Amino acid sequence: MERVDVFLEPLRAFLLEIGAFLPRLGVAVLVLLAGFLIAKAARFAIEKGLRSVNFHIVTQRSGLDGFLHKGGTEVDTIGVFGALAYWVVILAAMIVAFNGLGLTYVTELLGRVMLFVPKVIVALLIIAFGTYFARFVANAVRTYCRGIGIRDADSLARLARYAILAFVIMMALDQMDIGGTLIRQAFLIVLGGVVLALALAFGLGGTKWAAERLEQWWPSRPSDPDR
C-alpha cells in the first residue's frame, strides 16, 4: 500500500496543480473575450469621433491618406488610429490575462509594447498636423511669390514645404525615441552642410547666378528715357 501511495503522489500533485490552474485559465479566457469586445467598441468610437470632428479632412489635405493608398492599403489615417486604439485595449487585456496566469516575463514584454503604442499615436498626430501645416505654408508662399512677381514661386513653395516636413519627421521620430540625439545631430549636420554649400556658391562663383535669380524674383524697373 505504501508503494502505491508513492506512485500516486506525483499524480495527485499534478491533478491539484491542474485544478488550481483551470480556474485561472478560465478567468484569462474571459478577460481576453471581454478585451476583444471592448477593443472593437473602442475602435468604432475612435473612428466615429475623429470623423465627427472632420479629422479626415485634415488627413486628406495633408496627403497622408493618399500616401497610404499609394502603398496599397485601403485604410485611411483614421483607420490607422482606430487600429492602434484596438491593439492598445487588446494588449491591456493580454497583460491582465497573462499576469493572472503568472507569466511575468510575457507581461513585461507586452507592457513595453503597450507603452510604445501611445508614442506612435502622438507621432501620427504630429505628422498629420505637420504635413497639413507644411502644405498650407507652401500654398501661402506660392500665392505670395506669384503676387509680387517672383517667377520661381513653385520652387520656393516646395522648398518651404520640404523644410517643414523634415522638421516634422524629426519631431515624430524623437517622440517615438527612435534615434534620439543621433537623428537631431544628423539633421543639423545636413542642414549646416546645405547652408554652407549655398554660402560658398554665392561667395565663390555664384554671384552671376545670384544676380540672375534676384533679377527674376524682383525685376528692376526700366529707366525712364525722358529723364
CB 183, CB 174: distance < 8 Å: yes
How far apart (Å, rounded) are the C-alpha atoms in residues 51 and 73?
19
Q: For every one of its 227 residues, what pLDDT tens digit does the chain have, with 9 covering 90 and above?
A: 455 555 566 666 666 667 666 777 788 889 889 999 999 999 999 989 988 888 888 888 878 788 777 766 777 888 888 888 898 899 888 888 888 777 778 788 888 888 888 888 888 888 888 888 888 888 888 887 777 776 777 887 888 888 888 888 888 887 777 655 666 666 666 666 666 665 655 555 555 656 666 666 556 555 444 44
Domain ranges of the chain: 12-178, 181-217
> What's the pLDDT at 119?
85
Structure confidence at residue 195 (pLDDT): 63
Q: What is the pTM of this model?
A: 0.66
Which grid coordinates are listed for 131?
Answer: 504635413
Q: What is the pLDDT of residue 227?
A: 45
* pLDDT of 57: 85
**Burial letters 89-125, b for 16+ CB under 10 A, else e:** bbbbbbbbbbbeeebeeebeebeeebeeeeebbebbe
pLDDT, tens digit, 9 for 90 and up, residues 171-186 = 888 777 765 566 666 6
Ranges of H-type helices in the chain? 2-52, 55-62, 64-70, 77-100, 104-147, 153-175, 181-204, 207-217
Predicted pLDDT of residue 36: 92
Coil, strand or helix at 54? coil
